[in-house]
Structure 1
Amino acid sequence: MIRRSIIAIGISVVAAPAVAEGDFDFEKGFAAFEDLFGVTEGKRRNHTKGFCVEGTLTPLDETIETYSNSTLFTSESSVIARVSHKGGKANPADDKYGLLGLSMEITTPDDDLHVIAMNTEHFFPVPTSKAFIELLRSKAAGADATKAFAAANPSLKTYSEYHGALDKSLRPHEGTTYYSVNSFLLVNDAGQETAMRFYFRPSGQEDIVVDIHPDFFIENMQANIANGGVSWDMVIVLANADDNVEDPSVQWTGDHTEIVAARFTANAAMTEADGQCDEINFDPLILSDGFAPSNDPMLKARSLIYAHGVGKRLSEKE
């Protein structure tokens, strides 16, 4: 059966001229990942190592319905998710700290699709898709090129200083918080739009409960699920009037209204071979009714690169 998220690739590609950022070339963008990380055929070029998680998304706070009429927030939805290491290495070690990812394909009660793609980064290193591809290319070229890029792009220094100061303690996926990075719009019954970002934080204190080794993450999550459950709370952060909604490299600071809107509860974790997540295109522009994309240019870039990438890697499996 062909997944609807794969069918949605066609929508993204057809829409490309309307939503692409300036002269952004998504094929060159995809190639930049291959130049930096190499190619593991049949696998994602970024977030290459990962496994599947399945569960449900349950609404928590009716306050969110003031801002969005999405059925994500009215009834339980089913979820096929994928947790991963950021980067294109074929088999990075689980027993060493690194950036991680959590992506979700949510099927709402009215059979609508909603995709979420998050990272452990709090915000992005650069403001535009063109700058991001230049960053990847500079890293592939070596230390001198990367230093030159950093000197010309001050947002990278801000990103590096902030994330460099964060706690680097080793945590399993289920003990990790994931951030949307990009901004979106909530849409209510009256058509009113409210800008927001969101993050998924662990609902409990899920910890490392199995012997640590380079591939322990999946075993750890399976053990935590069996020992009482694994879940994350979806926290919606409403934008203030002075927040920069379009630039993913700008962190929102100060007090914000936060709504704990829903909870993702994992019921099972399995390898990509045994699960359903491997063929999913986690396109952040696949949104249910009650949501809309912001004008953040990285959303369009991610959508186009993902669409190109999923077709290429699936063809390599044939």
Structure 2
Amino acid sequence: MQQTPAPLDTSQKVIRLGAIALVVAALGGAFAYVNGTLDPQRLTPDKLVDNLERAGGVHEGFRRNHAKGICVSGYFESSGQLKALSQAKVFSDPRTPLTGRFALPGPNPYAPDTSVPIRSFAVRFMQSDGQQWRTGMNSMPVFPIGTVEAFYAQQLASQPDPATGKPNPDSMKQFFASHPETAAFLAWVKNAKPSASFASETYNSVNAFYLVNAAGQRQAVRWAVVPAPGQAASEVGQGADVLQPDLAQRLAAGPLRWELRVTLAEPNDPVDDASKQWPSERRTLTAGTLVLDSSQAQSDGACRDINYDPLVLPEGIQASADPLLAARSAAYANSYVRRTGEESHAQQEPRP
């Protein structure tokens, strides 16, 4: 049996919240620029990604967030339960190929696997009609904030103190105290701990989307991929690099599976605010099963050149008005241009 982790002391909590702040920035950052609410001279996608580089260093050729990762391949088997709700082929075809990527949040591709308790899973579904569905999910069940103003305040509070190189505990405390919408996220962080396996995690869309059927009817949803029984980690892994070897070892023994569970919103549920959770009794349908059968290094694997932009959607799935979605799209595009430009430049350099 796993032992209950010891409570974190104050310094450990500050370090953890500081690391998670990078994830918050990367997921939510560009929306102030996209929506034009803040002065673009202060906050743009360029400056957001610049901040990630300053925090974690510049690692040329790597993604500016979720830099440490591994490619996976497989397919999705539809249950048919969503055919009436969405015209997307992924929900009606028996099998759809997919290319995914597991990753550790943050800009450092050499970070220890235990540095943050969050893991991410991005997937690109390739439908039979040529359309794609791309989604980026995280193991946290809710986003800390949901407005431009709150994001900007959080960014300021999480700036490292020049004297210590770490976030100022008082600034972080003041931010969370003045933003009660962060309560759900903080409740999760309190007991969250780094998992020993990508295979044992549940990954959540956090943002809401709409399923659209052939008649044009829309249903607001969020989704999660939940590991099949038997994929739970037996103990906390030791060392800085345990997640990728663990995944490769598991896949060598056979395919890994997750159920794609889609939760249906009721009319009054908040759709455009990722910091607001929906009641647990909401109806959930099992859309099908994700099956992974192989992994590859991110340096030359199938996921290397994929930008997992969450706004790449097929007919039958639409984005909500959640500003974080535009933010993520802008930040991912900025990161993609930077890293692919660096790779191109490196290929032109003469070899010694």
Q: Structure 2-normalised TM-score?
A: 0.79
Instruction: Give the Cα–Cα distance (whole angstroms) in 2 for the partners of residues 186 and 74 of structure 1.
Output: 13
Alpha-carbon distance, 1:130 to partner: 5.0
Corresponding position of 2:241: 215
Instruction: Give the Cα–Cα distance (whole angstroms) in 2 for the partners of residues 45 and 137 of structure 1.
Output: 20
> Any conservation in 2 of the 1:55–1:264 contact (CA below 8 Å)?
yes
Instruction: Give the Cα–Cα distance (whole angstroms) in 2 for the partners of residues 131 and 278 of structure 1.
Output: 33
Instruction: Verify: 1:268 aligned to 2:294, yes or no.
Output: yes
Cα distance, 1:35–1:121 mapped onto 2, change above 3 Å: same
Cα distance, 1:29–1:131 mapped onto 2, change above 3 Å: farther
Corresponding position of 2:46: 27
Instruction: Verify: 1:112 aligned to 2:131, yes or no.
Output: yes
Instruction: Verify: 1:64 aligned to 2:82, yes or no.
Output: yes
User: Aligned runs of 1:146-225 on 2, under 5 Å?
Assistant: 146-166=172-192, 168=193, 170-208=195-233, 212-225=238-251
1:81 to 100, 112, 115: 100
Per-residue CA deviation, residues 92-142 of structure 1 (Å, 9 max, x unaligned), is: 223676210000111111111110100011010111245335423432232
Corresponding position of 2:330: 304
Name the SS for the 2:211 alignment partner: strand
> Any conservation in 1 of the 2:37–2:148 contact (CA below 8 Å)?
no
Corresponding position of 1:6: none
Larger deviation, residues 64-73 vs 210-219:
210-219
Which structure 2 residue ranges, 5 or more long, are not aligned? 1-29, 39-43, 161-166, 346-352
Instruction: Give the Cα–Cα distance (whole angstroms) in 2 for the partners of residues 40 and 132 of structure 1.
Output: 25
Name the SS for the 1:273 alignment partner: coil
Instruction: Give the Cα–Cα distance (whole angstroms) in 1 for the partners of residues 185 and 238 of structure 2.
Output: 30
Instruction: Verify: 1:46 aligned to 2:46, yes or no.
Output: no
Counterpart AA for 1:279:
D
Instruction: Give the Cα–Cα distance (whole angstroms) in 2 for the partners of residues 207 and 269 of structure 1.
Output: 19
Alpha-carbon distance, 1:28 to partner: 2.8
Alpha-carbon distance, 1:241 to partner: 1.9
Corresponding position of 1:255: 281
Calculate the aligned-residue CA RMSD, in Å: 2.3
Rg larger in 1 or in 2?
2
Name the SS for the 1:47 alignment partner: coil
> Any conservation in 1 of the 2:81–2:286 contact (CA below 8 Å)?
no
Corresponding position of 2:15: none
User: Aligned runs of 1:225-264 on 2, under 5 Å?
Assistant: 225-264=251-290
Cα distance, 1:33–1:137 mapped onto 2, change above 3 Å: farther
Cα distance, 1:140–1:95 mapped onto 2, change above 3 Å: closer
Corresponding position of 2:319: 293
After TM superposition, which residue ranges in structure 1, 4 or more long, deviate above 4 angstroms? 207-212
> Any conservation in 1 of the 2:68–2:104 contact (CA below 8 Å)?
yes
Give the paired residue count.
Answer: 300
Cα distance, 1:169–1:307 mapped onto 2, change above 3 Å: closer
Alpha-carbon distance, 1:262 to partner: 1.7
Instruction: Give the Cα–Cα distance (whole angstroms) in 2 for the partners of residues 267 and 182 of structure 1.
Output: 28
Cα distance, 1:20–1:95 mapped onto 2, change above 3 Å: closer
Larger deviation, residues 210-219 vs 140-149:
210-219
Name the SS for the 2:103 alignment partner: strand
Alpha-carbon distance, 1:232 to partner: 1.0
Alpha-carbon distance, 1:311 to partner: 0.3
Name the SS for the 2:258 alignment partner: strand
Name the SS for the 2:275 alignment partner: coil
Alpha-carbon distance, 1:279 to partner: 1.7
> Any conservation in 1 of the 2:262–2:287 contact (CA below 8 Å)?
yes
Counterpart AA for 1:285:
L
Counterpart AA for 1:30:
V
Counterpart AA for 1:201:
V
Per-residue CA deviation, residues 228-259 of structure 1 (Å, 9 max, x unaligned), is: 32111110000012210010001112311111
Instruction: Give the Cα–Cα distance (whole angstroms) in 2 for the partners of residues 137 and 57 of structure 1.
Output: 41
Alpha-carbon distance, 1:175 to partner: 1.0
Instruction: Give the Cα–Cα distance (whole angstroms) in 1 for the partners of residues 112 and 219 of structure 2.
Output: 40
Cα distance, 1:129–1:173 mapped onto 2, change above 3 Å: farther
